[in-house]
């Protein structure tokens, strides 16, 4: 199995050289170099990149250049001009995601091998095959999605002649936007070009989503990291020849680089891995074992925000602190409210029983009943948020 990993600094490159020094003959590897102009997550500047490249070349280390950013026209043209100024002959290949970047390199640099990143599309065999046919001998590798099951990977490896790569460890991207969504939330003037934060959901108890904002936009990741390092032998047996280990975040390179190299050379087993014993975040296998799509979507839903029809009234859609709650009525008919209190179930699962002190229409008129899809106002209740589910609770 070939180890594919990222190098973001000269310090990391030296650490890698030291880590493989004793086992260099046993390890098949490739180093991905990026820079902030071309790579989605890289913090490396152009000068730093060139320093790393010079050192890698002196040490005869196989390096590839990553250009995985998705750019609109103006930024794309800037990226093309930046790419033209790099020492491209020092790289064994370039990793591309944007079809425009693929066409640019294919046309202008037909001698430069391409590793095409297909993580966000082309999950079917025809799509993968067409990329191979279009790029021909220039296509060195297909980088597949982590949303493919074991069975699909086995099938594709048997049918495709082009070498395949999958992610064996690292963050799982859930959301991307070219917009800058974090800096507007800062109370002080933002001068940083790279912001890291943690997010939570208003609709569920989930929290701890890693967030990044940089020149390319905003990225949100799963609260759990992908871990397939215990399946390397199986992947190799089915024909997957390259496993990518992403140590760019959470100081993982300092913590785990040596043990990763030892694992790929057979010096230690998966059970001895510190990355497994003391992970930064919980670890999951994603879609690898089986693609239980329907089950996964059910699990993603917060059951506390799903209606239960017994005595169901509706949902809180707006909260004005210390003033009122806005209730969207979803039952066919709400009447004779003097006989009931309200049971409120928040998205966090907290239950509150409150009296109906008053009910008004959206125009401020007193109401004793309401119909389906009416918006009515209720007295404010502390701790109640949007998405709170409302039920009738008979008075005792």
**Which structural domains are found in the chain, ordered by start?**
2-172+224-298 (3.20.20.70), 176-222 (no CATH), 303-394 (2.40.30.10)
Phi, psi at 231, each rounded to 5°: -120, 20
Kindly give the interhelix angle for 10-20 and 252-264, rounded to the nearest 10 degrees: 30
d(CA 28, CA 67): 23
**What values do phi and psi take at 61, rounded to 5?**
-95, 135
DSSP 22-55: TTTTT--EEEEE--TTT-SS----HHHHHHHHHH
**Which tens digit of pLDDT belongs to each residue from 186-217?**
655 545 578 888 887 766 667 789 999 999 99
pLDDT score for 130: 95
> CA-to-CA distance for 106 and 255, rounded, in angstroms?
38
User: Which residues face 105 on adjacent strands?
Assistant: none
pLDDT value for 211: 92
Alpha-carbon distances, residue 18 vs 53, 115, 245, 253 (angstroms): 17, 27, 18, 13
pLDDT of residue 203: 64
Dihedral, CA of residue 155, residue 161, residue 163 and residue 164, to nearest 10: -20
Q: If we measure between CA atoms, which residue out of 34, 85, 90, 86 comes closest to residue 62?
A: 90
Distant-in-sequence, close-in-space partners of 110: CB < 8 Å, separation ≥ 6: 138
Question: Is the separation of the CB atoms in 84 and 65 below 8 Å?
Answer: no
Point out the residues of the chain with pLDDT beneath 70.
Answer: 22-25, 186-192, 202-205, 291-309
Position 144 scores a pLDDT of 96
pLDDT of residue 84: 97
Per-residue pLDDT, 303: 57
């Amino acid at each position: 199995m070939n180890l594919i990993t990222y190098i973001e600094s000269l310090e990391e490159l030296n650490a890698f050289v030291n880590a493989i020094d004793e086992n260099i003959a046993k390890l098949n590897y490739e180093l991905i170099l990026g820079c902030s102009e071309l790579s989605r997550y890289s913090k490396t500047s152009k000068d730093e990149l060139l320093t790393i490249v010079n050192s890698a070349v002196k040490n005869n280390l196989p390096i590839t250049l990553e250009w995985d950013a998705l750019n609109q026209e103006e930024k794309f043209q800037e990226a093309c001009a930046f790419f033209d100024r790099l020492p491209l002959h020092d790289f064994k290949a370039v990793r591309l995601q944007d079809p425009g970047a693929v066409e640019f390199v294919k046309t202008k640099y037909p001698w430069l091998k391409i590793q095409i990143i297909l993580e966000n599309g082309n999950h079917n065999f025809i799509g993968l095959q067409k990329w191979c046919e279009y790029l021909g001998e220039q296509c060195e590798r297909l980088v597949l999605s982590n949303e493919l099951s074991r069975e699909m990977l086995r099938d594709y490896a048997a049918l495709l002649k082009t070498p395949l790569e999958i992610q064996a460890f690292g963050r799982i991207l859930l959301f991307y936007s070219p917009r800058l969504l974090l800096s507007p939330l800062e109370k002080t003037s933002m001068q940083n070009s790279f912001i890291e934060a943690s997010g939570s959901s208003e609709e569920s108890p989930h929290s701890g989503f890693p967030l990044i904002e940089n020149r390319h936009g905003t990225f949100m990741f799963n609260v759990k990291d992908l871990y397939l390092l215990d399946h390397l032998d199986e992947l190799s047996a089915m024909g997957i020849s390259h496993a990518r280990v992403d140590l760019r975040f959470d100081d993982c390179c300092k913590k785990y680089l040596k043990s990763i190299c030892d694992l790929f050379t057979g010096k230690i087993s998966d059970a001895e891995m510190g990355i497994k014993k003391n992970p930064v975040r919980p670890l999951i296998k994603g879609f690898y074992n089986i693609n239980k799509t329907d089950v996964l979507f059910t699990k993603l839903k917060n059951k506390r925000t799903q209606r239960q029809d017994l005595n169901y009234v509706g949902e809180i859609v707006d909260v004005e602190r210390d003033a009122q709650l806005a209730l969207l009525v979803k039952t066919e008919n709400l009447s004779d409210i003097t006989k009931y209190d309200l049971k409120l179930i928040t998205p966090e699962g907290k239950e509150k029983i409150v009296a109906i002190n008053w009910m008004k229409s959206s125009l401020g008129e007193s109401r004793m009943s309401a119909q389906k899809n009416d918006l009515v106002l209720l007295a404010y209740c502390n701790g109640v948020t949007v998405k709170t589910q409302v039920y009738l609770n008979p008075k005792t």
